[in-house]
């Protein structure tokens, strides 16, 4: 086709760039993953057992921490981390408004209040300055989020807020900060093994920490908070505080052990794709803001662009036009404080967190996952070129 003749957009009835939708994220399951799970199914124990222990040891080693406690998803990992931190009624936790709901909602389950603080406009992670301004006498700790995989700076957050820094690291397995795995820089960190994340166990998650007593509390919480009392009898336990069943089955852990051996390969592909986006999106500078961060320390769970200029008012149309072209764009995330729950319970309103709200109006997540091919990537660029009227 003559490059000067713009193709009719699929949203207007033209032929789409792709017939089948390219998802924004997808797991990579290989033959040895299948073999690991099917072999384990013949073992006597299906729930938490030796495969969970193996996953915990390997994960702690990979993340540069002493202890990993695996649980059944990233949401329950947050609840277990908050419970182990002793969070309770009357307490406050400072969190960013742009994150998945669980970062804040897990505090509500403990009876505590999530207090939002705006993002840093340069990193789009929690602003140390804004977090410090949100601290009160009730603030127990801060939970930062390594948004999209960009490592948070625990040192500046801790210095500014004078509180322990926890991390929702659902996006950042493999990211580094201060020359170490980012998980090693926080009081405790959670991760998620949901299929779109860096490695998967189907559903799963973990809490990572260097604090042995903290890890023991997470371990107890995931198993109903039962305290063994061998002095009473070999069968006996006592219940002091309520806990949950947040156990990860060994079936899932067997998959996790196999997947973890591939993390570096998966990360290398994510980074190559991010680098490729950076290069190919250069001609789009007038219509798109790219994501912040250094390619090699970032874990690139997401690659989020923000529409700008005239398109800043037309994000919904851009999103729908890209979907029509067969590109499975997503939106991570509408700012939490504007959800009904937080508007009604805490009186939040538009204008409370301008950086988060500006982000929330303009963000679009582009596809990025290890099995994405260069040809898939070319399709995304072609669709962006058509929809945004840029010759890539």
Ligand X SMILES: Cc1ncc(COP(=O)(O)O)c(C=O)c1O
Among 33-41, 67-75, 211-219, 291-299, which window interacts with ligand X (CB under 6 A)?
Answer: 67-75
Q: Interacting stretch for ligand X, rule CB under 6 A, among 38-46, 95-103, 223-231, 307-315?
A: 95-103
Q: How many C-beta atoms lie closer than 10 Å to residue 280's C-beta?
A: 16
Binding segment for ligand X (CB under 6 A), chosen from 19-27, 97-105, 238-246, 338-346, is 97-105
Exactly one of 24, 82, 100, 311 binds ligand X (CB under 6 A); which one? 100
The upper half-sphere exposure of residue 274, i.e. CA atoms within 13 Å in the direction of its Cβ, equals: 25
User: Does residue 262 carry a catalytic annotation?
Assistant: no
360: nearest Cα among 344, 348, 378: 348
Q: Which of 197, 220, 269, 271 is catalytic?
A: 197
Options 37, 128, 165, 170; binder of ligand X; rule CB under 6 A = 170
Four-residue CA torsion sign, 349, 355, 358, 363: negative
Residues 6 or more apart in contact with residue 202 via CB below 8 angstroms: 193, 195, 252, 255
Largest CA distance in the chain: 84
Q: How far is the CB of 279 from ligand X (least distance, A)?
A: 27
The residue whose Cβ lies closest to ligand X is 74
Cα 15–chain centre separation:
34
Among 75, 125, 189, 252, binds ligand X (CB under 6 A): 75
The answer to whether residue 199 forms part of the interface with ligand X (CB under 6 A) is: no
Q: Residue 73 or residue 161: which is nearer to ligand X going by CB?
A: 73
Q: Give the ranges where 27-148 is alpha helix by DSSP (H).
A: 31-40, 50-63, 74-84, 102-109, 128-134
In angstroms, give the least distance from the CB of 374 to ligand X.
27
- Of 155, 198, 193, 190, give the one whose Cα is nearest residue 174: 198
Nearer to ligand X, 171 or 271 (CB): 171
Helix H or strand E segment including 214: helix 212-221
- The yes or no reply on residue 79 touching ligand X (CB under 6 A) is no
Residues lying near ligand X in the complex (CB under 6 A) are found at 73-75, 99-100, 102-103, 145, 168, 170-171, 192, 194, 205
Active centre residues (catalytic): 197
């Amino acid at each position: 086709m003559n490059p000067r003749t713009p193709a009719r957009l699929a949203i207007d009835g033209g032929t789409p760039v792709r017939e089948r939708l390219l998802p924004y994220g997808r797991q990579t399951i290989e033959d040895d993953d299948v073999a690991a799970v099917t072999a384990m199914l013949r073992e006597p124990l299906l729930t938490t057992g030796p495969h969970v222990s193996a996953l915990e040891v390997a994960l702690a080693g990979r993340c540069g921490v002493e202890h990993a406690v695996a649980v059944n998803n990233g949401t329950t990992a947050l609840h277990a981390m908050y419970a182990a931190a002793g969070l309770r009624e009357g307490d406050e936790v400072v969190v960013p408004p742009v994150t998945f709901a669980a970062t804040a909602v897990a505090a509500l389950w403990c009876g505590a209040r999530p207090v939002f603080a705006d993002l840093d406009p340069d990193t789009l992670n929690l602003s140390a300055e804004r977090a410090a301004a949100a601290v009160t006498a009730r603030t127990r700790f801060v939970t930062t989020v390594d948004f999209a995989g960009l490592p948070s700076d625990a040192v500046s957050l801790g210095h500014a807020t004078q509180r322990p820094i926890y991390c929702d690291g659902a996006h950042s397995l493999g990211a580094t900060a201060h020359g170490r795995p980012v998980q090693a820089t926080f009081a405790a960190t959670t991760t998620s093994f949901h299929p779109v994340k860096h490695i998967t166990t189907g559903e799963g998650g973990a809490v990572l920490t260097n604090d042995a007593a903290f890890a023991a509390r997470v371990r107890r919480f995931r198993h109903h908070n039962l305290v063994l009392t061998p002095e009473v009898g070999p069968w006996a336990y006592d219940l002091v505080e309520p806990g949950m069943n947040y156990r990860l089955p060994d079936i899932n852990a067997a998959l996790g052990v196999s997947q973890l051996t591939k993390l570096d390969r998966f990360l290398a592909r994510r980074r190559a794709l991010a680098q490729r986006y950076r290069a190919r999106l250069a001609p789009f500078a007038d219509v798109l803001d790219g994501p912040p961060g250094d390619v090699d320390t970032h874990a690139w769970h997401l690659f989020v662009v923000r529409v700008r200029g005239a398109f800043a008012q037309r994000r919904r149309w851009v999103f729908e036009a890209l979907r029509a072209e067969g590109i499975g764009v997503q939106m991570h995330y509408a700012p939490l404080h504007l959800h009904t729950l937080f508007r009604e319970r805490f009186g939040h309103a538009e204008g409370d967190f301008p950086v988060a709200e500006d982000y929330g109006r303009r963000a679009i997540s582009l596809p990025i996952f290890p099995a994405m091919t260069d040809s898939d990537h070319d399709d995304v660029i072609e669709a962006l070129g058509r929809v945004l009227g840029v010759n890539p």
